[in-house]
Amino acid sequence: MTRVDVGSRLHFGFGNLSLAHERLYGALGVALDRPRLSLRAEPADRVDAPQRCERTVETVCDLLEVPGASVTVTDPLPQHVGLGSGTQLALAVAVAVGGAYDRSIDVRSLAPKLGRGGRSGIGVATFEGGGFVLDGGHPTARFTTDRPVDGAWTVPPVAARHRIPDDWRFLVVLPDAEPGRSGETEEESIRGVVERADPDPADRIAGLINRRVLPAIATGNADRFGSAVAEIGRLNGTWYADEQGGVYRPPVGELVGALAAEPAVYGAGQSSWGPAVYGVTDAANAAAARSAGEAALADAGLDGEVVIASGRNRGASVDGGHRPE
């Protein structure tokens, strides 16, 4: 039996969605210690797995040319809320099934065959090594509005990875709302965004990354980091406004606005397609940030969950099999 444990991730946005620039996408995000995913796999003569990952287990077994696997998910990640559940689940299944058969898995090579890492490389990179990650995106000429078929791309390279300071914390607010976009719906939305994206926000985002985000993570300045990634998220939202009904998808905008007014929260935004809302804070202000998240939900008339997470500076943990390559 092989057990795999991995945290979730926040996706702050892309560096560029315009076909007018040389490279497309280029995402940035961080690995979190919670919410987290835990699953285990054992060899079997057929596939026995929860419905949410049954097809992935079948695909992995086909790729590894093994007869089957019994997979049990003990701690699931919430699906389609902006925390990277799809990629983390697919890669965890691959590593666990591989480990059950004493196979070492190169997750970066396997991810495209599982339909992961096609645009953003954050989920793959955080599974590999955690931390703060900036990926290098794709050449625009190679990866335009239509995503290649599964397996016909490489995961974006890691352009920068930094350790998340130990005293940083991340407020995660999960409102009870419609799930974020995924699958073909997400593909259609991204295609529409890229076809009409204004190139100007990309220049502003590049300046924010180089002059604010990277220096802030390197020097441990949570305040400057939070305000910078929040601005990047807002600029990304100008690209997505027609697709999601505003700079932030409803009801995220109301929550972001409330958190942005809280001194204990250094910057707030929407993770991926939401509805997860994040806030950057630190250990000294974590309790106040949690209270602000709970108050924001209450004021918006929403139920939901509020989590305070630390950064995760390691990749997936594997017990009983090979660590992913």
Q: Residue 162's domain is classified under what CATH number? A: 3.30.230.120
Query: Does residue 324 lie in a domain region?
Result: no
Query: Does residue 325 lie in a domain region?
Result: no
| Residues ≥6 apart with Cβ < 8 Å to 9 | 29, 30, 31, 32, 83, 84, 88, 122, 123, 126
Token pair of 205, please? 């985002």
Residues constituting the chain: 325
Query: Does residue 242 lie in a domain region?
Result: yes
Query: Does residue 67 lie in a domain region?
Result: yes
Query: Does residue 304 lie in a domain region?
Result: yes
Query: Does residue 296 lie in a domain region?
Result: yes
- What's the pTM value of the predicted model, to 2 decimals? 0.94
Determine the pLDDT at residue 324. 74
Query: Does residue 136 lie in a domain region?
Result: yes
Determine the pLDDT at residue 210. 98
Determine the pLDDT at residue 192. 81
Determine the pLDDT at residue 178. 86
Looking at the 3D structure of the chain, how many domains does it have?
1
62 lies in which domain range?
A: 2-319
Residues of the chain with pLDDT under 50: none
CA atoms within 13 A on the CB side of 209: 26
DSSP state string for 150-187: TTSS-PPPEEEEEPPPTTEEEEEEEES-PPPP-HHHHH
Determine the pLDDT at residue 123. 98
Query: Does residue 65 lie in a domain region?
Result: yes
